[in-house]
Amino acid sequence: MKGFGVFEKGKVGWMEKPDYECGPNDVICRPLALAPCSSDVHSAMESEGPHLINRILGHEAIGEVIEAGSNVKDFKVGDTVVIPCTTPTWWHPDFQDTKHQDVGGPFAAINFSSYEDGTFAEQIKVRSADMNCAHIPENVTIEQACMAVDMMTTGFYGSELGDVQYGDTVVVYGIGPVGLMAVASAQLRGAGRIIAIGTRPNCVELAKEYGATDILSYKDGDLVAQIMEITNNKGADVAIVAGGGSEALNNAVGTVRFGGGRVAMLEVITGEEKTVLDNAHILSFLAHKEIKGGKQY
């Protein structure tokens, strides 16, 4: 089969790989819709290691089942299925004491384009299909479903990590696709005020549509000061970091309230050797602030 991937750091292109063999718990699909991700760029141009040598990229897809293993009960040849970006090894003993996204080690559930070839190929093999694939509801298009595979689930997970409660004030740093979904999920969970940080006009309008009550920009001055001003110096209950690098993480810690403020870290920071928190923000942990980080479902 043909696929698009990384030969070595900084070198990408089309490559040939053997067709997959279908295991008893697997399905093999042909791609119907694919979505590129900034993580694909990071993997190809910034990351390195033996897992990224001659590796097909991609981890967001909708596919049609062309072969199903003998143990697969929920899917058959011809079915259109959601292929998620995380495909955990559900039988791994780590399930006894960790999250499903990390069984086998940090990031181990993100098999596509890391430990296994990804979705930018003529064939896609999905392990543990009954646990990792999903059918698409009749009223959802293939394109819509593809947006849910990574961008929606990651953004929604931010609200879960931050434990957004009814009436909370939530700040979302970065309103690209993931940040916009964080805005939407905060609204669905009943946030009373949603402050979105961004500048691109199209994303600003979408953020408002999804539930943002306030739009702030770094171009208008210090973000911590702006947020403190509009919250009467209380700060936010939750901050979700979906972009902006280490500066956004610092701002997030500085803008959640004392006595239980929560920061949900969704962004994978690249291009920075170290992420350093300001001393003033480190001291704020004495006031019961929390940072949680995690990967999409």
Greater confidence, 117 or 247? 117
Distance CA 201, CA 218 (A): 14
pLDDT at 272 over 70: no
pLDDT at 297 over 60: no
pLDDT of residue 271: 65
CA distances from 195 to 172, 192, 208, 238, 288 (A): 6, 10, 10, 10, 22
- Can you read off the two tokens belonging to residue 252? 């997030």
pLDDT confidence tier of residue 267, bands split at 50, 70 and 90: confident
> What end-to-end distance do the CA atoms of the chain give, in Å?
29
pLDDT in tens, 197-239: 999 999 999 999 999 999 999 999 999 999 999 999 999 999 9
pLDDT of residue 173: 97
Average pLDDT over residues 106-127: 89
- Of 110-114, 128-132, 135-139, 280-284, the least confident: 280-284
pLDDT at 268 over 90: no
pLDDT in tens, 45-85: 887 778 889 999 999 999 999 999 999 999 999 999 999 98
pLDDT of residue 270: 67
Phi-psi sector, 32: left (phi>0), alpha (psi -120 to 50), beta: alpha
**What structural domains and CATH numbers belong to the chain?**
2-136 (3.90.180.10), 153-293 (3.40.50.720)
pLDDT of residue 71: 97
Contact yes or no for 56/11 (Cβ under 8 A): no
Greater confidence, 286 or 232? 232
DSSP string for the chain: -EEEEEEETTEEEEEE-PPPPPPTT-EEEEEEEE---HHHHHHHHT--SGGGSSEE----EEEEEEEE-TT--S--TT-EEEE-S----TT-GGGGTS-GGGTTSTTTT--BTTTB--SSBS-EEESSHHHH-EEPPTTS-HHHHHHIIIIIHHHHHHHHHTT--TT-EEEEE--SHHHHHHHHHHHHTT-SEEEEE---HHHHHHHHHHT-SEEE-GGGS-HHHHHHHHTTT--BSEEEE-SSHHHHHHHHHHHBPTTT-EEEE-----S-S-----HHHHHGGGG--EEEE----
pLDDT of residue 203: 96
pLDDT at 25 over 60: yes
Residue pointed to by tokens 């009960």: 73
HSE (side-chain half, CA atoms, 13 Å) at 200: 11
- Can you read off the two tokens belonging to residue 220? 């208008």
pLDDT confidence tier of residue 38, bands split at 50, 70 and 90: confident
Contact yes or no for 89/95 (Cβ under 8 A): no
pLDDT confidence tier of residue 91, bands split at 50, 70 and 90: confident
pLDDT at 296 over 70: no
List 33's β-bridge partners, or say none. Answer: 62
Average pLDDT, the chain: 91
Distance CA 131, CA 129 (A): 5
pTM of the entire predicted model: 0.88
Instruction: Kindly tell me the burial class for residue 204, based on how many C-beta atoms sit within 10 Å of its own C-beta (0-12, 13-18, 19 or more).
Output: middle
pLDDT in tens, 236-247: 999 999 988 888
pLDDT of residue 48: 75
